[in-house]
């Protein structure tokens, strides 16, 4: 008999709220017969969603994107985000997904679930598209100031996640730096390089310059949360800028531009699909003692579906247990 995997879904977060989240959850149930989704939020907004494997959990409050993380968690103990995480703590769910306030989600997960034993700091990850598949970048905001040992643990956690969830057989690990040669960078980068070079069970390939990040030559790239967050937001801004420039030039070119767009439409759609964050689902909070997935705040049903898939694979492949084993070996 198959073991049922239960995933708690914070239905009140993000830009599109319950409607898109509900649609994504409903569609995902068709993919996995052993999956049960706990829809957490204002049950009055879930009227008419009857499915034997879709359970409604009432949580009357929601954490907004603007609220200070710690204050929101302490004041809103009956929010959909907190209640969803508490279901993991109590063993009523195997994983939790939220499209809401990332800082609040990290704070709540850390407060309620705690860290995996021996983990010094958890990390927020981003799964980026590259020329040869997904690339994990971490940390992207949880720890502005890091020690070299944090980056070593990030590398171990990222490698396990890449193997178990993204199905990368031997993840290539890199250190984000200002140059490719050993000895480059500030004190943190140089000390982290020395540690990573001696770390067992990871395939450390050296430094990664920012321009190489999307080349597909690395599967896991580690950095401190300050640099990681700036890098991630710079990439997002560049992508938006390029899209706007393309639209402006097509309009400016008149009929000739429209004809060119029509001829390239299939290619452009393929490019957009390769760069689409929804294809990679959500990003995990690594180091938390429970599977916690952050989905993009603007996620619609397809992105929710992929986020559930990521959470399902993490549970199925015992990602937390594998990270715990690797960290224990590192500490011994």
DSSP assignment of 236-279, as one string?
A: HHHHHHHHHHHHHHHHHTHHHHHHHHHHHHHHHHHHHHHH-GGG
In this prediction, residues 169-176 reach a mean pLDDT of 96
pLDDT at 38: 94
Is domain 1-119+287-332 given the CATH code 3.40.718.10 in the classification?
yes
The total number of residues shown for the chain amounts to 332
Q: Is it the case that residue 238 has pLDDT exceeding 70?
A: yes
pLDDT at 92: 97
In this prediction, residues 112-137 reach a mean pLDDT of 91
Phi, psi of 323 (to 5 degrees): -60, -45
How much is the pTM? 0.86
Q: Do domains 1-119+287-332 and 121-282 have the same CATH topology?
A: yes
Q: Which of 31, 96, 78 has the alpha carbon at shortest distance from 285?
A: 96
Q: Is it the case that residue 103 has pLDDT exceeding 90?
A: no
Q: Identify the sign of the CA torsion 232, 234, 236, 239.
A: negative
pLDDT at 316: 92
Phi, psi of 144 (to 5 degrees): -65, -35
Contact 130, 293 (CB under 8 A): no
CA distance 208 to 202: 16
SS3 38: strand
pLDDT at 219: 96
Q: Is it the case that residue 265 has pLDDT exceeding 80?
A: no
| Superfamily (CATH H level) for 121-282 | Isopropylmalate Dehydrogenase (3.40.718.10)
Q: Is it the case that residue 44 has pLDDT exceeding 90?
A: no
Q: What is the largest CA-CA distance in the chain?
A: 67
Of all residues in the chain, the percent with pLDDT exceeding 90 is 45
Rama region for 51: left / alpha / beta (φ>0; ψ in -120 to 50; rest): beta
Sketch the domain layout of the chain as residue ranges: 1-119+287-332, 121-282
Strand duo 291-294 + 283-286: pairing: antiparallel
Contact 89, 112 (CB under 8 A): yes
Q: Is it the case that residue 69 has pLDDT exceeding 80?
A: no
Q: Where are the alpha helices (DSSP H) in the chain?
A: 17-29, 69-75, 80-89, 102-113, 148-164, 187-197, 225-252, 254-275, 301-316, 319-331
Q: Which residues pair with 127 in a beta bridge?
A: 136
Of all residues in the chain, the percent with pLDDT exceeding 70 is 90
Least confident of 34-43, 72-81, 184-193, 238-247: 238-247
């Amino acid at each position: 008999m198959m073991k049922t995997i239960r995933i708690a879904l914070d239905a009140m977060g993000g830009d599109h709220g319950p409607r898109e989240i509900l649609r994504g959850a409903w569609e995902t149930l068709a993919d996995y017969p052993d999956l049960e989704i706990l829809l957490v939020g204002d049950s009055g907004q879930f009227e008419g969603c009857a499915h034997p494997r879709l359970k409604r959990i009432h949580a009357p409050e929601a954490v907004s994107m603007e609220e200070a993380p710690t204050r929101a968690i302490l004041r809103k103990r009956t929010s959909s985000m907190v209640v969803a995480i508490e279901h993991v703590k109590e063993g009523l769910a195997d994983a939790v997904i939220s499209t809401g306030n990332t800082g609040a989600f990290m704070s709540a997960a850390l407060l309620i679930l705690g860290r995996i034993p021996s983990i010094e700091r958890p990390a927020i990850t981003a799964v980026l598209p590259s020329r040869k598949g997904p690339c994990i970048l971490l940390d992207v905001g949880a720890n502005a100031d890091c020690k070299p040992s944090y980056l070593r643990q990030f590398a171990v956690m990222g490698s396990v996640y890449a193997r178990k969830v993204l199905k990368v057989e031997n993840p290539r690990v890199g250190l984000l730096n200002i140059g490719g040669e050993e000895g480059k960078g500030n004190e943190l980068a140089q000390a982290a390089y020395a540690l990573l070079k001696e770390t067992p069970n990871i395939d450390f390939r050296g430094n990664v310059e920012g321009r190489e990040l999307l080349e597909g030559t690395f599967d896991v790239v580690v950095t401190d949360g300050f640099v990681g967050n700036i890098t991630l937001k710079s990439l997002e801004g560049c992508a938006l800028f390029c899209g706007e420039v393309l639209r402006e030039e097509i309009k400016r070119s008149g009929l000739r531009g429209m004809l060119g767009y029509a001829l390239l439409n299939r290619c452009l759609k393929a490019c957009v699909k390769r760069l689409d964050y929804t294809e990679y689902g959500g990003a995990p909070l690594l180091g938390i003692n429970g599977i916690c997935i952050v989905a993009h705040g603007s996620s619609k049903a397809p992105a929710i579906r992929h986020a559930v898939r990521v959470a399902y694979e993490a549970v199925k492949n015992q990602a937390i247990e594998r990270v715990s084993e690797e960290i224990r070996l590192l500490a011994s």
